[in-house]
Amino acid sequence: MNRRTFLQQSATALGAAAAVERVSEGQSADSPHPEASDKPNVIWLMADQWRGQALGCTGDANAHTPNIDNLSNLGVNFTSAVSGFPLCCPFRGSLLAGRYPHACVAGHEYPLPEGQPTIAQPFKEAGYRTAYFGKWHLAGFKESEGRSAMRIVPPGKRGGFDTWVGYDNNNSQWDCWVHGGEGTEAFHYRLPGYETDELTNVLIRYIRGAGGKARAGNAQPFFAVLSVQPPHDPYVAPDQFLGRYNPAQLELRPNVPVAIRSVNETARRDLAGYYAMIENFDWNVARIREALEESGLSLNTHLVFFSDHGDMHGSQGLYRKTNPYEESIRIPFVIGGEIPRYHGRKSGRFPVLLNHVDIAPTTLGLCGIPKPDWMVGTDYSHYRLQKPESPTEPDSAYLQCVVPTGHHNSINKPYRGIVTRDGWKYVCFQGVSWLMFNLSEDPYEMRNLAHNSRYRAEREKLIGRLKQWIADTADRFEVPAD
């Protein structure tokens, strides 16, 4: 690289950093809403491919997550939360729009439909500033046509957030490029360090900006999203975290077929990096909580931690996601903040079948904002707040694979299924039963009852409930007769 090119790139990077500094401090052309200053803030802390079992507070001996465990202990932990379509783009579409994937984002690299409102709109209508930092994956870019991290998500396709600093997709945590702004304020630059650390830095600047506004008597509530790729593969993390995990010493789940050498070795190698990424994320959660405390916002900010889906890591001899096994569909979901006795907050662990379509209504409910009519999910915020419980909660969660990815280690067929409140799981391909488990007695899914005539009556009951889900959601799928 010659000196002139170096200077040009340096100037571009400095300009981009200045632009990020402006937007991340919460500057907005919108006038503040003084009447809304007493409303709570909300921050989504969203990881990618973090399975629900991988937390210290859920009993995973490998996971070092003291800060998220603390959020759980002082908040509410939805221990049965699921990703109804365990794949990045469909989950994210359902997350933001509060609609099921077949009616929103049906498959991998599918865009958010043109004109589809997101959770940002009702927050803005209620006087909130909105901000999104990190992975988006809803622009419809295809990696086969060029690296998505180097392509610009048009401002009109950023979900209506006031502040947006992110990228569509990126599978290189040490080479992460973000962009945002528009016109003369547009920027696109490479984060100078590890993705989770650097995106957390951007969120912290935003928090400090909001705290500064509050101290100046110009408070305005905010809804912010931190969306990072880790612990998604490739399984790499900063050295100080990677060095703490020895593959040979990790505990594998009982449903990993360790007798198959390749599965055993791959699972251990990948998990060492996976748990290092998890610990790094947890460390950044502590940084965020410290920033909230220093900014005077900790007692009025809900922290909602979750992921888009899990990761098999050798369970059932499989890897990654997209399938309906527990390691793939179960996600962590914790609503925390400061000591729950203040501000009428409750704490506890609840086996609630919260699904992806329920996250937006529940988040709005934390702030007393009714869900819009285009959201179909359930508001579970009463588990955190002192308010009457919802009179109706689904007895099951709906599972889908609408458009398969065709990727290796994926299930390359469409399927539909349900998980019930009383511990049953049923999944079928078109016209053919596939999986059926009694999770209450078989949590590791070692005994498939889908074709066992002894359980025909239970199977027929589950098929009937699945048919009802398909009808209620205006989906289309051929289920077995019995």
Using one digit for the tens of pLDDT, what is the confidence trace for 156-185? 999 999 999 999 999 999 999 999 999 999
Instruction: Say which residue, 286 or 22, is predicted with more confidence.
Output: 286
- The residue type found at 128 is Y
Question: Which range is least confidently modeled, 26-40, 221-235, 385-399?
Answer: 26-40
- State the pLDDT at residue 18: 57
- State the pLDDT at residue 182: 93
Closest CA to 306 of 43, 41, 39: 43
Residue 3 has pLDDT above 50, yes or no: no
Residue 2 has pLDDT above 50, yes or no: no
Residue 431 has pLDDT above 80, yes or no: yes
Beta bridge partners of 165: 133, 180
- State the pLDDT at residue 35: 40
CA distance 474 to 213: 46
Closest CA to 221 of 23, 371, 380, 32: 32
Contact status, residue 227 vs residue 168, Cβ threshold 8 Å: no
Question: Which range is least confidently modeled, 17-26, 235-244, 345-354, 389-398?
Answer: 17-26
Give the domain ranges of the chain.
3-394, 413-472
- State the pLDDT at residue 237: 96
**Six token digits for residue 6:** 């170096």
Residue 17 has pLDDT above 70, yes or no: no
Closest CA to 352 of 414, 403, 420, 412: 420
- State the pLDDT at residue 156: 95
Contact status, residue 440 vs residue 423, Cβ threshold 8 Å: yes
CA distance 462 to 395: 11
The average pLDDT across 260-277 equals: 97
CA distance 105 to 108: 8
- The domain made up of 3-394 has a fold known as Alkaline Phosphatase, subunit A (3.40.720)
Contact status, residue 449 vs residue 459, Cβ threshold 8 Å: yes
Residue 353 has pLDDT above 80, yes or no: yes
- State the pLDDT at residue 155: 96
Average pLDDT of the chain, as a whole number: 91
- State the pLDDT at residue 468: 97
Residue 404 has pLDDT above 60, yes or no: yes
| Angle formed at CA 150 by CA 147 and CA 153, multiple of 5 degrees | 105
- State the pLDDT at residue 443: 97
Neighbours of 329 (CB within 10 A): 27
Beta bridge partners of 177: 190
* pLDDT band at residue 10 under the 50/70/90 scheme: very low
Burial string for 206-226 (b: 16+ CB within 10 Å, else e) reads bbbbbbebbeeeebbbbbbbb
